[in-house]
Chain A
Amino acid sequence: MSLKVNRRKFLKMLGWGGAGTALAGCDMPTTVTLEEGKEEVVSYLMPEEYVIPGIGVWYASTCTACEAGCGLHGRVREGRVLKVEGNPSSPINNGNTCLMGQAAVQGHYNPDRVTSPMMRKGGSLQNVSWEEALAELNKRIGADSGLKADKFGYVTGTISGHQSVLVDELMEQVASKNHFVHETVNTTVWNAVARDMLGDETPKYNMAKAGVILSFGADFMGTWGSPVHNMGEYAKFRKREIRGVLVQVEPKMTLTGGSADLWVAAAPGTEGALALGIANFIIDRGWNTVDVPAEVRSSLKQYSLEAVEKLTGVPATKIKRIASLLSERGPSLVLAGASTTNIENGYDSAASVMLLNLIMGNVGETIEASYKFPEKSLRPKQGNTKDLLLLAKALRDKKLDVLVTYNVNPVFTAPDALQIREGLAGVGFKVAITSFPDETSLLADLILPANSGMEEWGTHVPAYQPEDSLLSFQQPLMEVIHKESKAFGDIMLSMLKMRSSDFNKFADYYGYLQTAMMNMPGEGTAEERWNSMLQTGLLKASGSQTALTPRLVDIKYDVEKGSDDYPMHLLPSPRLGMWDGRHANIPWLQEAPDQIAKVVWGSWAEMHPKKAAELGVKNGDYVKITSASGSIETQVYLHKGMHPDAIAVPLGQGHEEYGRYAKDRGVNPMKILDPLMEKRTGELASFATRVKVTNAHKFNLLIKMGGSESQAGRKLVRTISSDVLRRTEGEV
């Protein structure tokens, strides 16, 4: 492919690169690689402005691999972005990146991107010109289309900043309320509990300050909140004067569980009871720092050690240990994640967990008020699965005539039982704004190729704002690779222009954004602010801080009973790397082994060796996992970081489409989930599905990294006790 970069224009767009971070020039390099003469040679004598052949220049931008909004620096050389690093001035990631951020360049340069608008003609998708595509779109959603307000639906993932504003504008223009914000990997239930019990959906969880973190399935290093930020905080937490202690309660060892001092497997779905048991014990001993009302006391009485031990399978001694840790090694921080919250009574489980924070007086201590971005319209709309259920319902009821999807893939991420695919067939006109030919997009009537995150302008307001509130700025790191792809903002503007002439004054999204940003209040001239934003990639705004107002909610906790037909719990566990499956098309991430199982390029199911022995399976054997809604077959990997009653199938694989690296690889556990709902929030209870596991009597070598699972006496990774650490390094 030929890359024709008009560098003058490109740089005009880019503005000033981060001068302080740019690698300073060195002697004239002696090599410039040319790929068989396909690339334009950059003249040594007369290079374009700001292009020094052989020298990388760093530009600030924002990572779009997940919703955390980490700041990036992209290294641009001869007009190509080669590598990204963390932006050190971003308080979210402090200069670090996770593997998804590192691999984002492969999303950008992915060979399977959509390169041209496509329209369904006579049943098949065919390349069309933008004019034709937009004309068709105008016919469907334009001012004269006769589109009825509630017949228009828009599906996005978590969206914030000016992109969100544009979507809002469009919804307003159409007068539709059907904006579905869908994310499979989310903390919605926990956020709802935080809102109800603390008065803030996303308070700051100050891990660095905590002496002990008790996490109920919150994979905060992997898929919970803002992973890179959390990992940085975790490092500080470990390096405290008295090393912090991490206790992780979950049915499947997550990345976070892998680093736990104590990893506890409670029976799946009983984590809430364990939390209540711990609370009861603490109150019983009078270790609570905050007074607890008598009725709560009495309602907790039923969670005696014996009862909880019986219910959860966690030995009473261990419960006592955890309770005393919370009181002795405080301040503590108690969190809950997917395996605790994404069940039918997830809200109550999460509330039981939050109760611990309340009685241990963590509110105001390790849970702090967070800053909210002052401009409300730019704040993020956080994705959830409730909207997925609503979308499914709307589709089922044939309520939608026109549906626009932007970088979401509900056909892949929704359980088959929700019948999204069938529902989409009933939608008159489906528009997919997407970079990749995924399952959902290929069902669309019109595909509009979107730019990659490294080709477009944008603003992002992260949901989790650890420091002062900030807006993370996304600027293109290079000229578009595929000439036909367009920025999301530009596509939105064209759609808006179809509905209203107000937007005609903006030539493109860049102009819109610049106007909007320069109009934002702040110090210095608008020009200076704009330039500083381009340089730093950030806009810090002194946001408002909402005070935390801890209060108890009514917890109606009872453990769900499973049926005998389906005795096991299916855990569709997300992981850092594949996330919800959106990164399955990135070869580096396919080849990056799963952190715990170390499996690559495929699916597997994690099981406890004990359970496997009952089934008579060993590593690499196939098992058939059957739920009431369907069945999948995959290989097992056995380890002792599992509860024997649970089987975990990581998310991410099982794509039917989505490019050469993702297609026909592994299985998708979401497919066989029962359409269960979390009772209080309406979220999809993704960890609530019960399954039956049978030996499929088939074997294949499990493709994983590493030979021996044990160190064979080598002492490669040596472990010492924290007592020793305290003697040598702690309490200086």
Chain B
Amino acid sequence: MSQVIQDKIIDEKLEWSRINSDVIASMQAPRKAYWITFAVCVSMLACAIAAEMYQYKMGLGAAALNNPHMWDMYIATFVFWIGMSHAGTLLSAILHIIHAQWRKPIYRFAEAMTTFSLMTAGFFPMIHLGRVWNLYWVLPYVSDRGIWPNFRSPLVWDAFAISTYLSASALFLFIGLIPDMAILRDHTTGWRKKLYGILCLGWRGDDRQWRNFRRTYMLMACFLIPLAISVHSIVSSDFAMSIMPGWHITTFPPYFVAGALYSGCAAIMTLFVCLRYFFRMEAYMTTNIMEKTCKLTFAIAMVWSYLNLVEFAATWYGHNLYDKELLLQKAYGPYAPIFWAMLFCGSVVPFALCFQKLRRHMPSVFVLSIVLQLGMYLERWMIVAPTLSLAHQPHQWDILWGSVIQWAIVFGSFGWFGILFLIFVKVFPCVSMYEVKELCFHLKHEIEEEELEKKHAQQKAGVRQQSGGTVPSGSAGLEGA
């Protein structure tokens, strides 16, 4: 096989009609496995709801929080979900801007993941409030008593950042769906036709619509990138704005963003494998794409590891008693197993991605991605818990390991995410049909050009022709067979 063929993202000979039918098929007739998964997710959520009801009634003591551990797994899980939401933006917005073609078959479910993980994450700050019924006090609504939230508090910034990011990413997801909605409108009946008819916003696929669509999409992408970075920077300031050792760290914003992209990529890898397997999407979610995803993940893992090293070095050479003690406690104290597990999962395991065999072997990738996510969850927990345990005041030192209620809610949050995602894949196309078509089109051109070039090279050595096709920007045919 030639290099071109081997690096090919997708089989360019895919019939557009087949793309349509494959994707539509994936949205219909849920199989037994789907329903089982769905039932598992619902029961997980039920656990969480039961736990939350108990906690709501009894108070946060039910979660076994205590004086130094005012926050615990809730906040760690919150950061975890927020982090996960970054991958969608990375794939759809950043890679879109830098014209990385391979994102096209997989960005849709990544975007959905973004939105749903934000919807999951948003629950945690609420769940962890002592008086959740007064949640709205965080918002700057006009009150006749002239009471405002405290704009200096990172928690208020959080509220703004997350709500903005959630609405922006949901909008971005929706905009990206419009051409596909039109395809679906034309290929479905019943309630689906009605739904897609509404959602496609009268898409006909004419030139003006395409032009406006691309402009809007690009604009949203540009808007979303700084937003995504700022959201996680603000989440990091929940910690970095405090004076606690282990939290008060200047590199926290980039560290959090890197960690977020990292865990997001790992999550994409997991869902990639699942969708590929369950929906028989081998033709779209190809091993080549997986390889690229893995390489990207590896790069981000290295950035994350580097930022970790920066943090450790800054602490070590900073000679701040509290920080240094905390670092030592993390490395040698009661948290040591978790600390080393985190470093192993986060910084050592990604080296497995250096091996092409593993990158192309889906079961391995699946296992690796789970391990990476575990590492990232541990990282979040290692940020939250040890600082609370072992801060300035040694009299209040205490080690706390979750509790049943906390676990139930954290566990249930995965169920909630699963429910949302499972519904999504059956209602909306998890592969962007129009972009795959676009991709095939480009690829075909490229290959043709290349073959042509080869031929030319063989035939008339020295004669070169400009390569690279133009984007058929007015091609209404993209949406149909």
In the bound complex, what is the Cα–Cα distance between A112 and B64 (angstroms)?
30
Q: Give per-residue flags for A692-732: 1 if the beta carbon is below 8 A from chain B beta carbons, else 0.
A: 00000000000000111011111010000000000000000
CB distance from B385 to the nearest CB of A (A): 14
Indicate whether B318 reaches chain A with its CB closer than 8 angstroms: no
**Please, which residues of chain B bring their CB within 8 A of the CB of A712?**
325, 394
**Please, which residues of chain B bring their CB within 8 A of the CB of A711?**
394
B321 x A713 contact (CB < 8 A): yes
**Please, which residues of chain B bring their CB within 8 A of the CB of A708?**
394-395, 397
B396 x A713 contact (CB < 8 A): no
In the bound complex, what is the Cα–Cα distance between A712 and B397 (angstroms)?
11
In the bound complex, what is the Cα–Cα distance between A708 and B68 (angstroms)?
13
B325 x A707 contact (CB < 8 A): no
CB distance from A718 to the nearest CB of B (A): 14
A–B complex contacts, Cβ < 8 Å, 21 sampled = A706-B395, A706-B396, A707-B68, A707-B394, A707-B395, A707-B396, A707-B397, A707-B398, A708-B394, A708-B395, A708-B397, A710-B394, A712-B325, A713-B325, A714-B321, A714-B392, A714-B393, A714-B394, A716-B393, A716-B394, A716-B395
Residue of B nearest to A714 (CB): B394
CB distance from A220 to the nearest CB of B (A): 27
In the bound complex, what is the Cα–Cα distance between A716 and B398 (angstroms)?
18
In the bound complex, what is the Cα–Cα distance between A716 and B392 (angstroms)?
10
In the bound complex, what is the Cα–Cα distance between A706 and B325 (angstroms)?
18
Residue of B nearest to A715 (CB): B321
Q: Which of B294-329 contact A (CB under 8 A)?
A: 321, 325
**Please, which residues of chain B bring their CB within 8 A of the CB of A713?**
321, 325
In the bound complex, what is the Cα–Cα distance between A711 and B396 (angstroms)?
11
**Please, which residues of chain A bring their CB within 8 A of the CB of B394?**
707-708, 710-712, 714, 716
Interface-centre pick from A707, A713, A716 (highest chain B CB count, 10 A): A707
Q: Give per-residue flags for B369-406: 1 if the beta carbon is below 8 A from chain A beta carbons, else 0.
A: 00000000000000000000000111111100000000
**Please, which residues of chain B bring their CB within 8 A of the CB of A710?**
394
In the bound complex, what is the Cα–Cα distance between A712 and B321 (angstroms)?
9
In the bound complex, what is the Cα–Cα distance between A606 and B68 (angstroms)?
27
Name B's A-contacting residues (CB within 8 A).
68, 321, 325, 392-398
Interface-centre pick from B392, B393, B395 (highest chain A CB count, 10 A): B395
Given contacts A707-B398, A713-B321, 7 further A-B contacts (CB under 8 A): A706-B396, A707-B395, A707-B397, A708-B394, A708-B397, A714-B393, A716-B395
CB distance from A57 to the nearest CB of B (A): 36
Interface-centre pick from B68, B321, B394, B398 (highest chain A CB count, 10 A): B394
Residue of A nearest to B392 (CB): A714
In the bound complex, what is the Cα–Cα distance between A205 and B394 (angstroms)?
39
**Please, which residues of chain B bring their CB within 8 A of the CB of A707?**
68, 394-398
In the bound complex, what is the Cα–Cα distance between A707 and B321 (angstroms)?
18
Name A's B-contacting residues (CB within 8 A).
706-708, 710-714, 716
In the bound complex, what is the Cα–Cα distance between A711 and B321 (angstroms)?
12
CB distance from A178 to the nearest CB of B (A): 52
Residue of B nearest to A711 (CB): B394
CB distance from B299 to the nearest CB of A (A): 39
In the bound complex, what is the Cα–Cα distance between A716 and B395 (angstroms)?
10
In the bound complex, what is the Cα–Cα distance between A708 and B398 (angstroms)?
8
Residue of B nearest to A712 (CB): B394
In the bound complex, what is the Cα–Cα distance between A713 and B397 (angstroms)?
14
In the bound complex, what is the Cα–Cα distance between A707 and B68 (angstroms)?
10
Residue of A nearest to B396 (CB): A707
CB distance from A237 to the nearest CB of B (A): 28
CB distance from A697 to the nearest CB of B (A): 24
**Please, which residues of chain B bring their CB within 8 A of the CB of A716?**
393-395
**Please, which residues of chain A bring their CB within 8 A of the CB of B396?**
706-707
In the bound complex, what is the Cα–Cα distance between A708 and B399 (angstroms)?
11
Residue of A nearest to B397 (CB): A707
In the bound complex, what is the Cα–Cα distance between A706 and B394 (angstroms)?
8
In the bound complex, what is the Cα–Cα distance between A708 and B395 (angstroms)?
5
**Please, which residues of chain B bring their CB within 8 A of the CB of A706?**
395-396
Residue of B nearest to A598 (CB): B395
Residue of B nearest to A709 (CB): B394
In the bound complex, what is the Cα–Cα distance between A714 and B393 (angstroms)?
8
CB distance from A598 to the nearest CB of B (A): 10
In the bound complex, what is the Cα–Cα distance between A706 and B67 (angstroms)?
11
**Please, which residues of chain A bring their CB within 8 A of the CB of B325?**
712-713
In the bound complex, what is the Cα–Cα distance between A710 and B397 (angstroms)?
11
**Please, which residues of chain A bring their CB within 8 A of the CB of B397?**
707-708
CB distance from A710 to the nearest CB of B (A): 7
**Please, which residues of chain B bring their CB within 8 A of the CB of A714?**
321, 392-394
In the bound complex, what is the Cα–Cα distance between A706 and B398 (angstroms)?
8
In the bound complex, what is the Cα–Cα distance between A710 and B390 (angstroms)?
13
CB distance from A44 to the nearest CB of B (A): 28
CB distance from A717 to the nearest CB of B (A): 10
In the bound complex, what is the Cα–Cα distance between A707 and B398 (angstroms)?
6
**Please, which residues of chain A bring their CB within 8 A of the CB of B68?**
707
The 5 closest A-B pairs by CB, nearest first: A707-B397, A708-B394, A712-B394, A708-B397, A707-B398
CB distance from B205 to the nearest CB of A (A): 66
CB distance from A336 to the nearest CB of B (A): 34
CB distance from A493 to the nearest CB of B (A): 51
In the bound complex, what is the Cα–Cα distance between A707 and B66 (angstroms)?
12
**Please, which residues of chain A bring their CB within 8 A of the CB of B395?**
706-708, 716
**Please, which residues of chain A bring their CB within 8 A of the CB of B393?**
714, 716
CB distance from B449 to the nearest CB of A (A): 68
Residue of A nearest to B67 (CB): A707
**Please, which residues of chain A bring their CB within 8 A of the CB of B392?**
714
CB distance from B289 to the nearest CB of A (A): 50
In the bound complex, what is the Cα–Cα distance between A708 and B392 (angstroms)?
11
In the bound complex, what is the Cα–Cα distance between A479 and B405 (angstroms)?
47
In the bound complex, what is the Cα–Cα distance between A712 and B323 (angstroms)?
12
In the bound complex, what is the Cα–Cα distance between A710 and B394 (angstroms)?
7
Residue of A nearest to B325 (CB): A712
In the bound complex, what is the Cα–Cα distance between A714 and B396 (angstroms)?
13
CB distance from A149 to the nearest CB of B (A): 60
CB distance from B318 to the nearest CB of A (A): 15
In the bound complex, what is the Cα–Cα distance between A215 and B119 (angstroms)?
68
CB distance from B390 to the nearest CB of A (A): 9
In the bound complex, what is the Cα–Cα distance between A714 and B395 (angstroms)?
11
CB distance from B274 to the nearest CB of A (A): 42
CB distance from B325 to the nearest CB of A (A): 6
In the bound complex, what is the Cα–Cα distance between A83 and B393 (angstroms)?
31
CB distance from B67 to the nearest CB of A (A): 10
CB distance from A65 to the nearest CB of B (A): 28
CB distance from B309 to the nearest CB of A (A): 25
Residue of A nearest to B395 (CB): A706
In the bound complex, what is the Cα–Cα distance between A712 and B326 (angstroms)?
11
In the bound complex, what is the Cα–Cα distance between A706 and B395 (angstroms)?
5
CB distance from A350 to the nearest CB of B (A): 38
CB distance from B382 to the nearest CB of A (A): 19
**Please, which residues of chain A bring their CB within 8 A of the CB of B321?**
713-714
In the bound complex, what is the Cα–Cα distance between A711 and B325 (angstroms)?
12
CB distance from B332 to the nearest CB of A (A): 14
CB distance from B57 to the nearest CB of A (A): 21
Residue of A nearest to B68 (CB): A707
In the bound complex, what is the Cα–Cα distance between A713 and B326 (angstroms)?
12
CB distance from A257 to the nearest CB of B (A): 21
In the bound complex, what is the Cα–Cα distance between A707 and B391 (angstroms)?
11
In the bound complex, what is the Cα–Cα distance between A261 and B397 (angstroms)?
28
Residue of A nearest to B324 (CB): A713
In the bound complex, what is the Cα–Cα distance between A710 and B325 (angstroms)?
13
In the bound complex, what is the Cα–Cα distance between A710 and B395 (angstroms)?
8
In the bound complex, what is the Cα–Cα distance between A713 and B394 (angstroms)?
9
Residue of A nearest to B399 (CB): A707
CB distance from A249 to the nearest CB of B (A): 29
In the bound complex, what is the Cα–Cα distance between A298 and B396 (angstroms)?
56
Residue of A nearest to B398 (CB): A707
Residue of A nearest to B394 (CB): A708
CB distance from B392 to the nearest CB of A (A): 7
**Please, which residues of chain A bring their CB within 8 A of the CB of B398?**
707
CB distance from B69 to the nearest CB of A (A): 11
Interface-centre pick from A708, A710, A712, A713 (highest chain B CB count, 10 A): A712
In the bound complex, what is the Cα–Cα distance between A222 and B394 (angstroms)?
27
